[in-house]
Structure 1
């Protein structure tokens, strides 16, 4: 039993309703992806797209949160990660609803005939600089070819008029993307600033943008409380996913 537990910890992450293997992915299961998958507004979603799905984590979370007739499409550039995402999807309770595409979103968008009422992305955000351990990790971390301007261009051609585009970024990068999006005619609907605890300023931001105008809602969430335990807000947000909550 102990060897099995070690294997699960080293090769992937077990959630309440599914398991995500990530040993062949440059970017592992992490807090950012879980927050976005749990936070993105799914009410009324009719078709969902996950751009840069990696292990398939966010696609799986959104499959759990949406109805039985909602298709989930996910695009991943890296061949190894896309293959692992496909395996994770096939082993999940929602295998018939999740489709993984191994492709560059900049190329894939030109042939897609679908429109999506919810698009999510945990995008690259660093400018190319410090070398990464592998080229795959560099692609996952650095906004080189998939700049935020290019990402917005892709999403603009894929989203429905009343759809949401949701993403998580470091606060500085998030503010820059938000300003760029608003210049291009997007509207902010929801924003949650994330901080590690009450004493620290926000270091992450969750954004929900839409082509349709609306009154923005802005709040803040801390990951941990004064006792260093996970905060009530964080527990409530992730309750349906993390074990022992």
Structure 2
């Protein structure tokens, strides 16, 4: 199963370093997968599994910053899995992509990884965030966040890192799911502006980690107290990540 060619857009990421095909009416990657990729502390030669990889945005943004990674992705929806394969190929990036559910990971991915990244659905199961079925499936919570954490813990090598981005109200569930396999949690709030509450956050946790929980200063995305016109107003730090593909490593110190 694939998306019709006339239903796709060809979008630039990282100021054109990546070109990704996305459905015009389905789930479309925005800033979250770029921020997720920037937060993953992978280095050349390591292996990375993207759970719920969609069209491949997060893993491919990571590969654009860190060459020499061994990439794999798992995607529930066959249409998106096929699109992720196309996007990897058209950007010259090797990536194994399998179709399946995180609660029953395919045999082809049952090995250890140095990193697992994930951008799980964030709308509650009740109601529907989108009339478009494929987008609805990508956005609505059908599998608890704890199951995503458990799937990641199973696939991580000892000492490996889980990096996830999700809605702030889901933090207690995620933290409660870490033990006994994951520890050393680091939480980076993503604030839209200085002094605003952070609706989203990034969580890092390490397999066999034993360090204490740390709540980091917020990473602020936009300058000023409010939007002041039809233009982007990212902070210099956010612009470096979203446009230039910089790492968020400094924010996790």
> Where on the TM-score scale, by shorter chain, does this alignment land: which range?
0.7 to 0.9
Q: Which 4+ runs in 1 deviate beyond 6 A?
A: none
Picking from 189, 200, 205, the partner of 1:204 is: 200
Matched, 1:223 2:221: yes
Q: Which runs of 5+ in 1 are unaligned?
A: 1-9
Task: Give yes or no for contact 1:39–1:237 (8 Å, CA) kept in 2.
Answer: no
User: Secondary structure, in 3 states, of the residue corresponding to 1:237?
Assistant: helix
Task: Give the match for residue 115 of structure 1.
Answer: 112
The CA distance in 1 between the partners of 2:31 and 2:167, in whole Å, is: 12
SS in 2 for 1:178: helix
Query: What is the Cα deviation at residue 177 of structure 1?
Result: 1.2
The answer (yes or no) to whether the contact 1:109–1:154 under 8 Å persists in 2 is no
CA, structure 1 residues 160+225, in 2 after alignment: closer, same or farther (shift >3 Å)? same
Number of positions where the alignment pairs a residue of Structure 1 with one of Structure 2 = 229
Q: Give the structure-2-normalised TM-score.
A: 0.81
TM-score normalized with structure 1 length: 0.84
Please point out which of 163, 183, 187 is paired with 2:183: 187
Matches within 5 A, 1:118-137: 118-131=115-128, 132-137=130-135
In the aligned structure 1, how far is the partner of 2:119 from the partner of 2:60? 14
Work out which of the residue numbers 139, 142, 166 in structure 1 matches 2:140.
142
* Counterpart in the other structure of 2:249: none
RMSD: 2.4
User: Do the aligned partners of 2:100 and 2:106 also contact (CA within 8 Å) in 1?
Assistant: no
1:131-165 CA-to-partner distances (Å, cap 9, x unmatched) read 23133223212222x22222222112100111110
Would you say 1:232 and 2:232 are equivalent positions? no
Residues 46, 117 of structure 1: 8 Å contact kept:
yes
Deviation of 1:217 (Å):
6.3
Work out which of the residue numbers 151, 158, 162 in structure 2 matches 1:161: 158
- Per-residue deviation at 1:111? 5.5
Task: For structure 2, list consecutive stretches of 5 or more residues without a partner in the other structure.
Answer: 1-7, 228-232, 247-253
Post-superposition CA distance 1:165-193 (Å, at most 9, x none): 01111111134312332x44522343211
Matched, 1:85 2:84: yes
